[in-house]
Amino acid sequence: MRLERLPGIHHDSACIVVSGTESTVIVDSGTSWYQANLVERLLPHLEGRAPVEAILLSHRHFDSCAAAPHLAEYFGSKIRIHEDAVAPLAGGDLFTTWASRYDSDMPPIEAEGFSDGDQIDLGDTTLQILHTPGHTMDACSFHILEKDAIICGDLIPAAGHPSRADLPTGNLIDLKSSLERVSSLSPKLLVCGRGDAISGLERCREVLQKHIESVELRIEREGRLPAGWPKPAETCHWLTPEPAWSFQEQ
């Protein structure tokens, strides 16, 4: 099994490549703005790997999935997302995908639905779908069973940047439950939607606990940000604590 993370350009989410002996999947694609550039970036990482079977999407937002049709056409692969997002993507929904906030059209995306507990066999490794709503109602993470690794999308944008739930279909209560579910799996690697991966059992546990506490505080404040936290930009899908969070050295 091989896993590589390509950082996103500008507003784009990270793009993660996971390959087994039989097939490869690409998790998230970023906006449609840099889709041709993304193919060029992906090609060297795909040399010698099994064919790309699917583009897996962690959730419906424009900055995570708009380039998926271009990638699917280029690689001859299907697109898959949680079943709750299939209809909005097929209709090119501008609002719950947040494409409208980027002054962009949302390309209609023909995707197959998956649901919690489904498994994707790559040959020597398996990805299990974890429905982890909160950032959006359809948000999912991908559990690489053999490696105790979880690709978590914008559930955890970065170690020091908690996820927003005040976006269309978001929910703080669901976000807390999803973080607690991921924590209960005791991951040794968290692959974030924006920042560097978080490695090591204790570091993952520490980061997850900090994110859970931040959601609990927002729930107590009825959705309002903690005092001193800056208001996020309109196209920003994460929050910036003030003062910045610090974690123990590994």
Each residue's pLDDT tens digit, 204-214? 999 999 999 99
Highest mean pLDDT of the ranges 6-10, 79-83, 193-197: 79-83
Judged against a pLDDT cut of 60, whether residue 250 lies above it is answered with no
pLDDT of 234: 82
pTM of the predicted protein model: 0.96
d(CA 82, CA 53) in angstroms, rounded, equals 17
Residues 103-118 have a mean pLDDT of: 95
Query: Mean pLDDT across the stretch 49-57?
Result: 97
Q: What is the mean pLDDT of the chain?
A: 95
Q: Which tens digit of pLDDT belongs to each residue from 139-181?
A: 999 999 889 999 999 999 999 999 999 999 999 999 999 999 9
Q: Is the pLDDT at 235 greater than 90, yes or no? A: no
* Contact present, 38 and 2 (Cβ < 8 Å): no
Query: How would DSSP label each residue in 120-146?
Result: EE-SS-EEEEEE--SSSTT-EEEEEGG
Beta bridge partners of 192: 153
What was the pLDDT predicted at 248?
Answer: 75
The proportion of the chain whose per-residue pLDDT surpasses 90, expressed as a percent, equals 92
Question: Which pLDDT value is given to residue 249?
Answer: 64
Percent of the chain residues past pLDDT 70, beyond the cut:
99
What residue ranges define each of the domains in the chain, with the CATH number in brackets? 2-220 (3.60.15.10)
Average pLDDT over residues 186-195: 96
**Sign of the CA dihedral 212, 218, 219, 220?**
positive
Q: What average pLDDT does the segment 51-78 reach? A: 97
The yes-or-no verdict on residue 128 having pLDDT over 70 is: yes
Strand ranges, E, within 38-125: 52-56, 78-82, 112-114, 119-121
Q: Are 97 and 62 in contact (CB under 8 A)?
A: yes
